[in-house]
Amino acid sequence: MPLVSMNHFLPQAKKEGFAVGQFNVNNLEYFQAITEAAKEERSPLIFGASEGAIRYVGLNNIVALAKVAAEESGLPIALHLDHGSSFEMVMKCIRAGFSSVMFDGSHYPFEENIRLTKKVVEAAHAVGVSVEGELGTIGGVEDDLDVAEEDATLANPEQAIRFWEETRVDAMAIAVGTAHGMYKGEPKIRYDIIEKVAKNIDAPIVLHGGSGVPDESIKKAVSLGVGKINVNTENQVAQVQVIRELLDKNPDMIDPRKYLGPSREAIKEVVKGKMRLFGSSGKA
């Protein structure tokens, strides 16, 4: 199957009350681990590629790896630009073969965010590519984005509803208290904001910073209208733990396959667990 836009599965997710995971890709092993997990779970999936990951892996390599995963697995897979910072970057990814993009205009004033996001939606929808927009600023560190906790601002529900009405994005990321990276304590999620926005727009809500959020909180958020959840850090933690242990125990180990292979299994297990938790297992 070729890569698909998120509209292949997000409307169904919103209707049936499950969420599809966006799993960020950092190198080849992530593509392999996430695809294997989705095959075993029969789950739709979204590969998330940040601008940092694109610089590291290479734009054409990312597209090629995602296409191979979709063709060989037969699963509905979207390749999604995570936190796209400009119209130019969005267009570059669409031209290279991405099937979905996020335009993150959350740091612009509200009206400017609407204007720029609308421009992205117009261009992307013309070629069948889905779009995620963002309102409010999500705290934490992810690649080029570094938002101090005190600077993270929650989304205003009325503004979020108007943002969707004007832009018609296919997925709506709103800051509701989660953050990129692992949490020191438990995140305080504003379920009331999720509920109010989800009830008033057709698109599902996107929860960024999915790593480290307790299972019960995820279930509640999904029941209220979250239809896409982003996960990156938990996979990185699982991967590096295995590599550290193996290299500590075997100082002479030099073949990367000997430590990257087992760490790939660890990523796969995390992803499978998330797919079950999000309710996307069996939905492909």
CB of 258 to ligand 13P, least distance (A): 27
82 is a catalytic site residue: yes
Backbone angles phi, psi at 111, to 5 degrees: -65, -35
Residue 109 tokens read as 């004033």
Q: Could you tell me the CA-to-CA distances from 242 to 42, 233, 235, 270, 274 in Å, in that order?
A: 26, 14, 11, 13, 19
Total residues contacting ligand 13P by CB under 6 A comes to 15
- CA nearest to 164, candidates 8, 14, 9, 3: 14
CB of 257 to ligand 13P, least distance (A): 26
Residue 236 or 252: which CB sits closer to ligand 13P?
Answer: 236
Q: Does 208 bind ligand 13P (CB under 6 A)?
A: yes
Question: Which one among 14, 118, 180, 274 touches ligand 13P, defined by CB under 6 A?
Answer: 180
Options 82, 143, 170, 248, the catalytic residue:
82
- CA nearest to 58, candidates 102, 94, 28: 28
CB of 232 to ligand 13P, least distance (A): 3
- CA nearest to 23, candidates 214, 261, 212, 210: 210
Q: Of residues 46-85, which lie at the interface with ligand 13P (CB under 6 A)?
A: 48, 82
Active site residues: 82
Residues that bind ligand 13P (CB under 6 A): 24, 48, 82, 142, 180-181, 208-211, 230-234
